[in-house]
Structure 1
């Protein structure tokens, strides 16, 4: 008689859960009965592609990587449109909002995150949205379609709050729909966690040419309107009329399910290097976790978390997760960006700088002790990965420093490195 299968229950069906399933299947899932619980109806989809859906550059089916049939064909039970409201650790089961209890031998929390809140008043008014799910995109598209149908696109004002990547993508998508967009950001320049002020200014110029207006170094104090949104008032005293607002100011880990059940954690559900929580029967991955005080929003480290957990669950191999530096590679409004390591110049740095205003190209490399410690590229990011490799290797670049800004073809020719193929 064969050994009975373990019940593996995954709570959450976002990108982390989808990647974990891929990693498990690569190995061997014959020893598991897998159930996935997701609060959205559709299968796992690529949230990174929400902006192209909003902009009309792709459609919803194209970004759903795992429709319902995918789970069925692989013998995986998919419970959709359901939320888990409690973990009953002693009984090894979870309680859903529908009152059902699902048992597990091992539980994986992949509950992701939610949009971060802002302190503005009157956020209960209609037509104030987040930009996180397909449902959010559908609501925004419905607003855009309404005004398109009635031929009133030009008198529709949209406000986007947040000058990070998500906010920029939302603003760009709405602008492509013909809405007049104002983006407000509390920092003095865009993407201030990845770019310096000069690169942020270059990016702003490009987006202004796409009919996006900006209010920097300001915050919304309150929204106004009797029932529907009419305007936003700012801390600076300014006011902007708007019929639609998208709040895209970052994410907050969905840690509450785990912490309420008594799992350790602060900013997220705490995990060790093998993605195990303080309960040996429960693991966690993705945006809901905290590892050595850090939380995660980029896909690359989360993919490594999934590999680590799959190795442990399927093969009992302990391959530790390491939170290594990750470069930021972005494409906003057709412009390539790259940022890695330190990006604000200080007295400790030797700064290598190249600017071409006419071509819209900006390159900055920061050195300390003749080693690259940071790089910011705008408009031409082809050599970004090379710079990042040198940063990771802590390579002494004294012999090629004068050629670095010109690219690999130049600095490779000045050293023993082979030229790029």
Structure 2
């Protein structure tokens, strides 16, 4: 007698779900009938590529990895443009905003995150946008298409809030559309969670050449206008006229659906090392989860979460997820950046430093007890993975320390992959 297939329902259709489906298909999904519920109409797409779409360097079809036909061809039911408003755990059902109930044997929450809020007044004014979805990009492109190119040269067309990677990418994309952009960041330098002040200074010089101005160590406290944005008022007392604003200051995990259903969690939906929640019939992955107090915004650890969950669902194998260190590799405005481990020099570090202002190259390696504990590279990142391998293995580099900044061609050995005894 043929065993009845289990109903596997996945809520959310972002990058985590796209990767999980790939991992499930690699294995044996014959025991499941899979349903994917997503609140956006299109299939899973690469959010990392939203900036090139905004900049006109690629188009929407190129970043949609799984169009509707992909699901159909693999026997996966795709329910698009629908939100899940509640989980009925006792009945093992999810309830959509349309009032429909879908039963599950196992439920996966992959509901991602939303843009973080800023403490500024009047954020409901028109022409204030997030930068998170294809819909956001479409709105920005429409505004950019019709902006007034005859305005005074000193006017600001677009204000971007957030000096992290997302804010820089949004600013760069808008500048390529011909808008005069001002980026505001409350820290004293850009990418302050990945770069030291010197490396950030190199980056700022490059980005300023793209018709982007900066307001640092300040923040917006109020937007003004009747219905539509006209200006932004700052904590410092200054006022800046602007025609649109993009808020790109980070993400907040979408934990509410899980927590309202009684699942454990604080910053996100809590999971164990096998991506299981406090309900044995519910798992969670991606930006909505909390693991040992940590939440996730980078793709690499989320890919590992997908592998762990696929192993458990398909084979009942326990391959524990580990939240190991991940290097940050960034490419902003065509500039290569690499950061891993410690990036701010303190008294406990031995600092190795190389700067070439003419070539725009900056390299800093931080050592503690003759072991690499951090690296910041700007302009030339070719040896970043080598440094990271030595950082992970805790290799004693005292014998090659004088040559480290010059790269593998000079220190001439393969990084030791084994931890020091």
Determine helix, strand or coil for the equivalent of 1:194: coil
In 2: Cα distance, 1:121 partner to 1:289 partner: 30
Does the 8 Å contact 1:153/1:179 carry over to 2? no
Match of 1:285 in 2: 285
User: What TM-score, normalized by structure 2, do the two folds share?
Assistant: 0.97
Give the total of aligned pairs: 415
Q: Where does structure 2 lack aligned partners over 5 or more consecutive residues?
A: 417-421
SS of the equivalent of 2:396 reads: coil
Give the corresponding residue for 2:76. Answer: 76
Provide the C-alpha distance between the structure 1 equivalents of 2:66 and 2:342, rounded to a whole number of angstroms: 37
Contact 2:386–2:415, Cα closer than 8 Å, also in 1: no
Written as runs of structure 1 = structure 2, the 5 A alignment for 1:5-404 is 5-147=5-147, 157-404=157-404
Any conservation in 2 of the 1:153–1:178 contact (CA below 8 Å)? no
- CA shift for structure 1 position 244: 0.4
2: CA distance, partners of 1:416 / 1:235: 51
TM-score between the two structures when normalised by the length of structure 1: 0.97
Kept in 1, the 8 Å contact 2:220–2:232? The answer is: yes
Give how far 1:153 is off.
10
Unaligned runs of 5+ in 1: none
How has the CA–CA distance of structure 1 residues 220 and 156 changed in structure 2, closer, same or farther, with 3 Å as cutoff? closer
In 2: Cα distance, 1:52 partner to 1:152 partner? 26
How much has 1:147 moved relative to structure 2?
A: 2.2
Deviation at 1:226, TM superposition (A): 1.0
Following TM superposition, by how much is the alpha carbon of 1:408 offset from its aligned partner in structure 2, in angstroms? Answer: 0.5
Cα displacement string for residues 171-219 of structure 1 (whole angstroms, at most 9, x for unaligned residues): 0000000000000000000000000010011100000011100000000
- Three-state SS of the structure 1 residue aligned to 2:145 is helix
Distance 1:204 1:178 in 2: 19
Root mean square deviation of aligned Cα? 1.3
Q: Which whole-Å CA distance do the structure 2 matches of 1:293 and 1:250 have between them?
A: 18
User: Quick one: distance in 2 between partners of 1:385 and 1:238?
Assistant: 43
What secondary structure sits across from 2:347 in the alignment?
coil
Q: Is the 8 A contact 1:147 1:156 kept in 2?
A: no
Report Cα offsets for 1:77-101 as digits up to 9, x if no partner. Answer: 0000000000000000000000000
